[in-house]
A and B are shown apart, each in its own frame.
Chain A
Amino acid sequence: GEDVEQSLFLSVREGDSSVINCTYTDSSSTYLYWYKQEPGAGLQLLTYIFSNMDMKQDQRLTVLLNKKDKHLSLRIADTQTGDSAIYFCAESIPGGYNKLIFGAGTRLAVHP
């Protein structure tokens, strides 16, 4: 079935690393995504990973994929107050006709 789960809230201190976790149920997922949503705004595509990869790094962002456990994580190094937002994990599945399945989102709060 199609289901993506995330913890709802994460609080970190400025300068620390943040790790946002996500689990998905469809083992045939092809791409897994991280989107960021700031208050009152749309979704910003941060990064994505193809299912045959286990890691992708892009500046301060590191995505880890454990396909066996169907677990995806997003690590943000040196977290800043500007990183405060809701982070959505999403998957696309073959034959899903480009439909993205989103998790409920993790609210990241960065405090000084």
Chain B
Amino acid sequence: EAGVTQSPTHLIKTRGQQATLRCSPISGHTSVYWYQQALGLGLQFLLWYDEGEERNRGNFPPRFSGRQFPNYSSELNVNALELEDSALYLCASSLSDNYEQYFGPGTRLTVT
């Protein structure tokens, strides 16, 4: 069974640009989660999508947004990139209302 996949593996952007990160959940999973792993800040919850709806949002500014598609894949968009947005962005998936979250390999975003 294929795990959670994320693309791209690496992304380099300049300050002020927009970044789009993609995630495909495990087959049969309807919930997708996004976490940011920044140096010195640890793993922080960003967003949770389930059945196409945003269910919960972490303490991040509105320039972090996303969506979930009918096939349950998801996009994370980061607008007006700042240097401190440089981090590993991890996507996880689970069955709806299930507490087992399985993570993908991450997208490393570097903002210069």
Contact = CB atoms under 8 A, between A and B. Distances in A.
Interface of A: 30-31, 35, 41-45, 48, 88, 90, 92, 96-105
A45 B99 contact: no
Contact of B99 (A35, A48, A101, A105): A48
Given A97-B48, A98-B48, A99-B56, A44 B103 contact: yes
8 contacts: A35-B103, A41-B105, A41-B106, A42-B106, A43-B92, A43-B103, A98-B97, A101-B45
Contacts of B102: 45
Which DSSP category, helix, strand, loop or mixed, fits chain B's interface?
A: strand
Which are the 7 A-B pairs with shortest beta-carbon distances?
A: A97-B56, A102-B43, A43-B103, A42-B103, A42-B105, A99-B45, A31-B99
B33 interface: yes
A47 to B, nearest CB: 10
B106 A98 contact: no
A16 to B, nearest CB: 28
Contacts of A88: 43
A92 B31 CA distance: 15
B21 interface: no
Contacts of A45: 100-103
Interface string B36-75: 0000001111001000000110100000000000000000
Residue among A30, A92, A100, A103 having the largest count of chain B Cβ atoms under 10 Å: A100
B94 interface: yes
Nearest to A103: B42
A42 B31 CA distance: 18
B45 A104 contact: no
